[in-house]
A and B are shown apart, each in its own frame.
Chain A
Amino acid sequence: MPTSPVNTRIPLTSFGHLITEVKKQLFGIKAPTSVELTGLRKYFNSYTLQGRRNCVLATYGVFAAAAAAYFMRRQNKKEPQTSSST
């Protein structure tokens, strides 16, 4: 009976982890070596743990900055309106 090429102990905590594990075992993700990662990709990539952490923090930072800019702009719009009405 043909055996599955995929090992059975696949972490099932998230769909992303499942897909990553299957890709690794069936196709083999060829992670670039540390020498190949240069420039910005050395710090922001999806292969190393630190790279993934930095990508997550950068994404959250961009959203936080956008939200802060939006609320400040809304506050600035409200202030001229109240001063012109008085």
Chain B
Amino acid sequence: MVLSFFDQFMSPSYLGIPLMALALILPWTLYPKPTSQWISNRVLTLQGWFINRFTQQLMLPLGRKGHKWALLLTSLMIFLITLNMLGLLPYTFTPTTQLSLNMGFAVPLWLATVLIGMRNQPTIALGHLLPEGTPTPLIPVLIIIETISLFIRPIALGVRLTANLTAGHLLIQLIATAAFVLAPLMPTVALLTATLLLLLTLLEVAVAMIQAYVFVLLLSLYLQENV
């Protein structure tokens, strides 16, 4: 069986049964549930501290109406960051390299923010489509541009996450293959390639965390405009 570089992005299945659901459930099994004990153990305390701190920072610019989104956004952040980090393990499928999954998150959540804005404060939501102080001849042009940028938002959200993860994984595989092939031929060059691979892996760890954060942060910014 000849493997290509893109086989790592194929949706996994076993005996015809798609394993995507298993891949998506895995992050849930990795986090301990808070117990009814008065003082939790170190892991639970750290987990609770991180979740509280993150939610506090995310909800800071949002008003009270936006606080309803705290659970959704924080759980989305933890889900994405876990999927991204787990995908960096060798031979592990990364669900967030699938555009369908990322668009499945981006489009409904973006649409929800737009509909909330149109329903609760339609004047302000429509007013956002024209910047203040625009010269009169530019008004129609700028309205069209802002409308296009509004509709491009969910596409950008989904594609940004997909492209970053896919490109990173592809680079890792390419450089690892290069180091492996060069090892018997040019050991010094293979060592340099392996060093590059190590640095790239560290970069990919950062990218995995940052991209999950950027996804959730942009959603909270879109919500801030509309809530």
Binding site for B on A (CB under 8 A): 11-17, 19-20, 23-24, 29, 31, 46-47, 49-50, 52-53, 55-57, 59-60, 62
Contact = CB atoms under 8 A, between A and B. Distances in A.
B131 A57 contact: no
5 nearest A-B pairs in the assembled complex, by CB-CB distance: A16-B131, A29-B133, A46-B134, A52-B130, A52-B127
28 contacts: A11-B225, A13-B128, A13-B221, A13-B222, A13-B225, A14-B128, A14-B149, A16-B131, A16-B134, A16-B145, A20-B132, A20-B133, A29-B133, A31-B132, A31-B133, A46-B133, A46-B134, A46-B139, A52-B127, A52-B129, A52-B130, A53-B122, A55-B130, A56-B126, A56-B127, A56-B130, A57-B126, A59-B140
B133 A53 contact: no
Nearest to B129: A56
A59 B126 contact: no
Given A53-B126, A56-B129, 20 more contacts: A11-B225, A13-B224, A13-B225, A14-B131, A14-B146, A16-B130, A16-B131, A20-B131, A24-B133, A29-B133, A46-B132, A46-B134, A49-B123, A49-B124, A50-B123, A52-B127, A52-B130, A55-B139, A56-B143, A59-B144
Interface string B209-227: 0000000000001101100
Interface size class of B (residues with CB under 8 A): 20 to 34
Nearest to B224: A13
